[in-house]
Amino acid sequence: MTQRTITPRSRGFLFLDAHPAGCERAVEDMWSSVAGAPEAASAGDRPVALVIGSSAGYGLAATVAGLKRAGIRGIGVCFEKGPTERRTATAGWYRTAATARLAREAGSDMVFLNGDAFGDAMKDQVAHLLTERFGGRLDHLIYSVAAPRRTDPDSGTTFASVLKPIGAPHRTKTLVFGADGTPEIREVETGPAEGDDIEQTVAVMGGADWERWIERLAGRGLLAGGFTTVALSYIGSPLTAAIYRQGTIGAAKAHLEATARRLDERLGASVGGRALTSVNGAAVTQSSTAIPGIALYVGLLRGVLGDRVVPPAAQLTELWDGLTGAAGLRLDDEGRVRLDTWELGDDVQAAVADRWDRATTAGIAALADLDWFGAEVRRLYGFDVDGVDYDRPVETAVDWPAPAGPGGGVHAPAATVTT
């Protein structure tokens, strides 16, 4: 037994430990927020899905909503670190354990693999598992990966992604919190992309790995008729465009969308399938809090919309309804699924822009919902979750969920960061 009383310790928005019971309860809350499958869907054969990046952010929401709403079975791939003598496991480790339990209780056969999604070894492991455990069939693949680096399996070259504007330095407001939790508005300047920064970021965050997954699985004959794949993406506000959509990450997103168009043509011809990108709305995630200006923007957005902010699980429920035919997919003129219309309406963006212009350290509390934002950041690590007694010692040595029944005992290799 390795029980500890865990208190939150952080460096900025990064927490050093995670709370197992809080992470578990947060996943249970997400599960409870998702409506059950329509009767027609629940009575049919469960679709087989692969979620790459299943332990955090929109990938976690895709997994939970897929299990609860679409009745999926299949595989989740992520990279998380287990507990040590000095540290708890990562939050995603505990979230995955909770998701696996809920899947079992719902009667779904969902296997979670912990490893390098960029490597061919993981792709081959997934292909083997699909063949041996799931009848050699894959109906849906959700790709939700945010990573600092990727090693190309062919060349062995490791690429590193950067968050930089293109063409000129960018100065923006950003939100930080002092050691005592006091909010402060600062201005930060980020230098422009240099050398091969753009190419490196595209190599990590563009569509190359997504396409490699599809090609690898198609080569094994694993894509079912009507197979669909969706890469989760973000466009965001004009307020953050210089560092995001018009920056190096934006170049990677453009590559992702070009990859979707190419894959869509191939899949349509080969299996009557589709490839899409899904543009999701803003959310507080471990990835988004690292982007300059995003924390301020999301806090102001919540200040404008309040409870009209659409959480990731609700957005992914809509996506699954579209993929399974329970509802239509909302596509824009470029063929992208749009789940962000609640955020990017002209009236909403005008209101956020007005608050952005007026944001100062002295006045930020009246403009942004800082209590909500701070709680959302802490919830990422299992803190500030209702119903959890944080004064009580909790077991930190939680096992990675092993597959039950046929095909159990799947080995999860060592990994690099993929989610």
pLDDT over 60 at 418, yes or no: no
Write down the mean pLDDT value for the chain: 93
Q: What is the pLDDT of residue 45?
A: 84
The β-bridge partners of 417 are none
Percent of the chain with pLDDT over 70: 95
Using 50, 70 and 90 to split pLDDT, how confident is the model at 417? very low
What are the tokens at 274?
Answer: 């589709």
Domain boundaries, the chain: 16-167+201-290+310-341+383-395
Tell the CATH superfamily of the 16-167+201-290+310-341+383-395 domain: NAD(P)-binding Rossmann-like Domain (3.40.50.720)
415 versus 249: the higher-pLDDT residue is 249
Tokens 């029944």 label which residue? Answer: 405
Q: What angle do CA 262, 63, 104 make, to 5 degrees?
A: 140
CA 319, 321, 323, 327 torsion-angle sign: negative
Question: Which residues neighbour 172 within 8 Å (Cβ) at sequence distance 6 or greater?
Answer: 187, 188, 190, 240, 242, 243, 292, 293
Whether the full predicted model's pTM is greater than 0.75, yes or no, is: yes
- How far apart CA 188 and CA 324 sit, in angstroms, is 44
DSSP H or E stretch at residue 31: helix 20-33
Map 82-94 to HEC letters: CCCCCCCCCHHHH
Model confidence pLDDT, tens digit, residues 154-202: 999 999 999 999 999 999 999 998 878 889 999 999 999 999 999 999 9
Report, as residue numbers or ranges, the catalytic residues.
244
Query: What phi, psi does 218 have (nearest 5°)?
Result: -65, -35
- How far apart CA 20 and CA 217 sit, in angstroms, is 34
Buried b (16+ CB within 10 A) or exposed e, 43-79: eeebbbbbbbbbbbbbbbbbbbbbbbbbbbbbbbbbb
DSSP H or E stretch at residue 124: helix 120-133
Model confidence pLDDT, tens digit, residues 127-153: 999 999 999 999 999 999 988 999 999
- How far apart CA 363 and CA 367 sit, in angstroms, is 7
Model confidence pLDDT, tens digit, residues 74-122: 999 999 999 998 899 999 999 999 999 999 999 999 999 999 999 999 9
Is the separation of the CB atoms in 279 and 337 below 8 Å? yes
Is the separation of the CB atoms in 248 and 191 below 8 Å? no
Model confidence pLDDT, tens digit, residues 282-319: 999 888 888 889 999 999 999 999 999 999 999 999 99
Q: In the predicted model, what is the mean pLDDT of residues 24-50?
A: 86
Question: Using CB atoms within 10 A of its CB, is residue 106 exposed (0-12), middle (13-18) or buried (19+)?
Answer: middle
Residue 1's CB: how many other CB atoms inside 10 A?
Answer: 6
| Helix residue ranges per DSSP H, 34-118 | 39-43, 57-65, 91-105
- Beta strand pairing call for 223-233 and 274-279: parallel
Question: Which residues neighbour 287 within 8 Å (Cβ) at sequence distance 6 or greater?
Answer: 56, 57, 146
Query: What phi, psi does 67 have (nearest 5°)?
Result: -65, -45
343 versus 1: the higher-pLDDT residue is 343
Q: What is the pLDDT of residue 120?
A: 97
Q: What is the phi-psi region of residue 132: left when phi exceeds 0, alpha when psi lies from -120 to 50, beta otherwise?
A: alpha
> In this structure, which amino acid lies at residue 117?
A
Q: In the chain, what is the straight-line distance between the N-terminal and C-terminal CA atoms, in Å? A: 29
